Amino acid sequence: MAVPLVLMLLVAMFTGSDAMYCVCKSDANPVAMQKAIDYACGKGADCTQITSSGPCFQPSSVVAHCSYACNSYYQKNAGMGATCDFMGVATLTGADPSAGSCKYPASASKRCLNRIFLVRA
């Protein structure tokens, strides 16, 4: 009984349409976005991906780097209550921002998690 439930949970978590990403708003203040990058990178986000030799360095823009850093932080800490706001510069989206060799980690949406809990009931 537990094995099918675990398999359904894994399938639900990795369904592309239910994935959520934390991205920075293109019209946000660049100084505020840099502060979000500094915060996320200082608190454990995987910022090696946005260094000059990383797969997510290009495009080399504050919006792109902010999105990767904030998403990395959010994915690692959402389970502990972290939100995707970063002082108003970021928001959640279901659109995968990954491009080329730059892959963004994703989380399941609340809708997906609700389905999982309904299956268990």
Q: What is the pLDDT of residues 23-39, one digit of tens each?
A: 999 999 999 999 999 99
Distance, CA of 95 to CA of 101 (rounded, Å)? 17
Provide the β-strand partners of residue 64. none
Q: What is the pLDDT of residue 17?
A: 53
Q: Express each pLDDT in 101-117 by its tens digit.
A: 999 999 765 444 444 34
Parallel/antiparallel/unpaired status of strands 107-108 and 19-24 = antiparallel
Distance, CA of 113 to CA of 94 (rounded, Å)? 14
Neighbouring residues of 7: CB distance < 8 A, sequence distance ≥ 6 = none
Q: Would you place residue 18 in the very low, low, confident or very high pLDDT band (cuts 50, 70, 90)?
A: confident
The answer, yes or no, to whether residue 83 has pLDDT greater than 60, is: yes
Q: What is the pLDDT of residue 107?
A: 78
Distance, CA of 101 to CA of 108 (rounded, Å)? 22
Q: What is the pLDDT of residue 111?
A: 40
Neighbouring residues of 33: CB distance < 8 A, sequence distance ≥ 6 = 24, 62, 63, 66, 89
* DSSP result, 57-70: --S-SHHHHHHHHH
Average pLDDT over residues 70-93: 96
Q: What is the pTM of this model?
A: 0.76
The answer, yes or no, to whether residue 76 has pLDDT greater than 90, is: yes
Average pLDDT over residues 58-80: 97
